Every structure is written in C-alpha cells, then in structure tokens.
Amino acid sequence: MTGIEISFDPARIDRERVHRWLAEESYWARGIVRSAFDRSIEHCLVAGAYADGAQIGFARAITDHATFAYLCDVFVDTAHRGQGIGGALVAAIIELPALHGLRRIALRTSDAHALYARFGFTPLATPELWMERYNSDFLKQQASR
C-alpha cells in the first residue's frame, strides 16, 4: 500500500466521485441522490484515501463524540481493491481521537465481516435489544426534494 495517503479533510473529498461510487456501485446506497449524499457527509467524520492526488477510497463515521459511532460508506475504487486500502481507511478512522473511548462503534455489512473482525468488530452480542426504523421509501422521497 505504498504511496497511499489517508486524509480527514472534508474539503478534499471528491464528492462527485464518491457519490457516483455509492449511488452506482454500492449495495447499501445504490440510487442515493446527490443532495442526500451531500447532507450525509456534512456532519460526519470523513476519511479519504488518495493515490497521486486522486481519491481512491472513502469512509465516514457518524458520532456523538461521547458514547457512540456508526461506521459506514467504506468504499474502495474497484481498480484499487485488494491492496489493503479498505483496512487502512477503517484503521485510520477508528483511531481518530474523537472515537477513542466510545462505548460502541457499530456498522452493517453483507460481505466484509472478515475485514471488520480484524479491527475487533463482532456480531451483535444482544441483537434482540436492537431495533430500527427503516424507511423503504427513502430514495423516492429524496428524489422529490
């Protein structure tokens, strides 16, 4: 993973590129409209991975900076996968001082359990305590905004 830079500067995020990745290539945010994507990163901790100045990866964490964080949108450009960039993004973002000492950092994944396990993530210890309010019409509602 030589020559890869991780930055936490929100101004460096190539919003057009990251939006395209999430809206067109991810399974979890497919179809997300640009305005919703922009709002989603405004108040988060963001990390970008860069090679030769071009963005090749992204991750963000939603947090209250006291007890809880949600790690999400970890994405590496297809041409750069398999080089440890996703792991570097996860390591960098969970080591941010704002996330130290939190009671819980949560995430969802359908296919990267082994990656996250390397950083101490496990299945929910008490899934019966967790609930969600899921808006299945989210994309339709965002498109009309």
Sheet of 4-7, strands arranged across: 4-7, 45-51, 54-63, 68-76, 104-106
Token pair, residue 36, equals: 């919703």
Which residues constitute the domain of residue 101?
A: 4-143
Does the global pTM surpass 0.75? yes
Query: Between residues 53 and 144, which one has the greater pLDDT?
Result: 53
Check pLDDT > 90 for residue 140.
Answer: no
- Supply the pLDDT for residue 54: 96
Average of per-residue pLDDT across 115-138: 93
Average of per-residue pLDDT across 119-123: 97
Check pLDDT > 70 for residue 21.
Answer: yes
Half-sphere exposure of 36 (CA within 13 A, CB side): 16
- Residue 55, helix vs strand vs coil: strand
Q: Provide the domain count of the chain.
A: 1
- List pLDDT tens digits, range 68-82: 999 999 999 999 999
CA 19 vs. chain centroid, Å, equals 12
**Domain containing 121 — which CATH number?**
3.40.630.30
Q: What value does the mean pLDDT of the chain take?
A: 94
Q: Cα separation of 60 and 44, whole Å? A: 6
